[in-house]
Chains A and B, each alone.
Chain A
Amino acid sequence: MTPIERHCGWLLHAYPAWYRRDRAAEMVGTLLESSPPGAKWPSFRDARALVTGGLRVRGWTWLLAMLWVVIGAGGAVYATVAFSHPGYGQGDVFRPMFQWPGEPMVVITVGITAQVVWMLLPVPVMVAGFIRLRGWRRRNWLRATGWAGSWVGGLALMITAGEWANAGMYDNRGVLRIGEMAVCAAWLILGVVMTWILGAAPVPRARSVPDNTVTGE
């Protein structure tokens, strides 16, 4: 396998597995033909189009779910940093926010925004997932149940993070907490599970390949 084939394969991971199974070989062939001889990477235009095309195929449900997961995981890392500062919980800007004395206002603003988005996301994530998985159809009950279970798991992680924030609000711990990193890992695992549940094609692709497959050079 040439370097450009390998790099094209990496970029094609922007697409879901069901799409890659159907199209990856064909797309790699087209990418190789459209790249100059000896190139090790596809052009920037091609790389950007692959990533945006892949995200488009994955759809809004996946993007919303991943936003929820990434903010959750990022929040856990942020909490670990916040808890490692002596005087955590003594900040006076926004009480419900993890923060430490002297924290830059821009970080607090980004954190508050992310926190608001994170708290609002569960409802659209739940609804979008249910619609995407056609949860009202009886034959989809297994995937819909998996989705609901993941959603409950995400809420449990949110509640855990909230409880830790409250517990540390008037505490001067000043130590690095391992628990927050465990929460971060749990969010990432949740992301993998949600991606796997959403991994199947949303609608069976009505593509018919005529039985005239031939071999050429």
Chain B
Amino acid sequence: MREPTYFVLASLLDGPLHGYAIIQRAEHLSGGQVRLATGTLYTALDRLTADGFVELVREEIVNGRARRSYGLTPSGSGALRTEASRMADASRLVTNRSHRLKTAGRAGEASPA
């Protein structure tokens, strides 16, 4: 799963959002790392809708224009949690090894040959 896709799904965890709100939420959640362009967002929403991860939940008319809100489906929520778990495992692989290397380094300094 690509990073923008991950943050689009993550932005919908707290409930359905419309397009611009997804852009803002994804930017906030990623600490400013993921700034979705409008075209990119709708490409992602099309793909996620086709995959059954996201669904259209509400359509409003705001200032004469359609405003649609999208929400996570159970399948999308599951995919997001699976991806989060995979990334956490991948992260632990590195952080645990770094910790062991630091520990080994300190032990080496304490008992020189």
Contact = CB atoms under 8 A, between A and B. Distances in A.
Interface of A: 23, 25-31, 33-34, 42-43, 45-46, 48-54, 56-57, 207-210, 212-217
B83 interface: no
A215 B37 CA distance: 26
Contacts of A42: 38
Contacts of B35: 45
19 contacts: A25-B65, A26-B66, A28-B65, A29-B20, A29-B63, A29-B66, A34-B20, A42-B38, A45-B35, A49-B40, A53-B42, A57-B46, A207-B49, A207-B56, A209-B59, A210-B57, A214-B60, A215-B60, A216-B60
Contacts of A29: 19-20, 62-63, 65-67
Q: Which of B37, B59, B67 counts the most A-chain CB atoms under 10 A from its CB?
A: B37
Given A30-B20, A31-B38, A207-B49, A213 B43 contact: no
B58 interface: yes
Given A28-B65, A30-B20, A49-B43, 10 more contacts: A27-B42, A29-B67, A30-B18, A30-B19, A48-B39, A49-B38, A51-B39, A54-B39, A56-B43, A210-B57
